[in-house]
Structure 1
Amino acid sequence: MKRMVTGCLVLIMLSACSNSYNDPLLVDGTRNAGFDYDIVQCRNLAEGHTKDALKRPAITGAILGGAINAIGSGDDWAEDALIGVAAGGGVGALEGLDERDKTRRSILLRCMQGRGHRVIG
């Protein structure tokens, strides 16, 4: 059981390694004047809006993982519940990271477009 949980966590962590928020922006044409200044300002805006985005998914995952493992367990329910809490919290945090990354990228793109830059992705 423990090996399976560990293996699943490793696979999930590897699949969550994409970091589209930090990928360079695609611009249709040349960059406008002030692009570098605006991108710093827009990144600060995006990061400010999503600074607490990991708490809820990690806590939810920990609660669900602990409950599911404790319910489906036999004699050693406390140890299984702790494994479920750790695994569920980890999975929830990774899902939160992915969602935060997507939200930040979306805010960054809209902010740059709102400042007159021809950003397409």
Structure 2
Amino acid sequence: MKPFLLLLLLPLGLGACADSGANHTPVLDGPPNATYRADLAACRRLAKEQGQLDRETAGATVLGAGAGALLGAADDDGDAIGGAIAGALAGGAAGTVNASNRREEILIECLRGRGHRVVG
């Protein structure tokens, strides 16, 4: 029963991170200029358009599931299905973190491209 519960919670957990990175509040070197708020909104939209569940995240999920299944099957008390689900959760979470970091980088570079002195 536990593996199925984890499988149901995976989309909810990944969905909770859906806008992370794009909602980053950048640190500016100096006061914001008159166009900052409009540029920030536009750059956030651009960052949000980047897929959170991209190929890299899907690949990490599949690799995690495979590794978890192997480890679960190799353990005397483990089971392959539970290991696969745990591995998929770990791989999916790692992929989601990477996607969030990419979105934050897109947001920062977009603002810099529009002339804002973003330091982080």
* Fold shared per TM-score above 0.5: yes
Query: TM-score of the superposition, structure 1-length normalised?
Result: 0.71
- Cα pair 1:50 1:103 within 8 Å, conserved: no
Q: What secondary structure does 1:32 align onto?
A: coil
**Residue aligned with 2:33, SS:** coil
List alignment gaps of at least 5 residues for structure 1. Answer: 3-12
Query: Corresponding residue for 2:36?
Result: 35
Give structure 2 stretches of 5+ with no counterpart.
3-12
How far does residue 94 in structure 1 lie from its aligned partner after superposition?
1.2
* TM superposition outliers: structure 1 runs of 4+ over 6 Å: none
CA RMSD of aligned residues (A): 2.6
Alpha-carbon distance between aligned partners in 2 of 1:50 and 1:109, rounded to the nearest angstrom = 17
Partners of 2:28 and 2:82 lie apart in 1 by 46
Counterpart in the other structure of 1:61: 64
* Identity among equivalent pairs (%): 34
Matches within 5 A, 1:99-118: 99-118=98-117
Query: Following the alignment from structure 2 to structure 1, what is the Cα–Cα distance between the partners of residues 48 and 62?
Result: 21
TM-score (norm 2): 0.72
Measured against aligned partners, the alpha-carbon deviations of 1:73-105 in whole angstroms (never above 9, x if no partner) come to 44x7xx711011110011011111211111111
**Amino acid aligned to 1:48:** E
C-alpha displacement of 1:21: 5.0
- Aligned-partner Cα distance in 2 for 1:66–1:60: 10
Shift in Å at residue 20 of structure 1?
A: 5.8
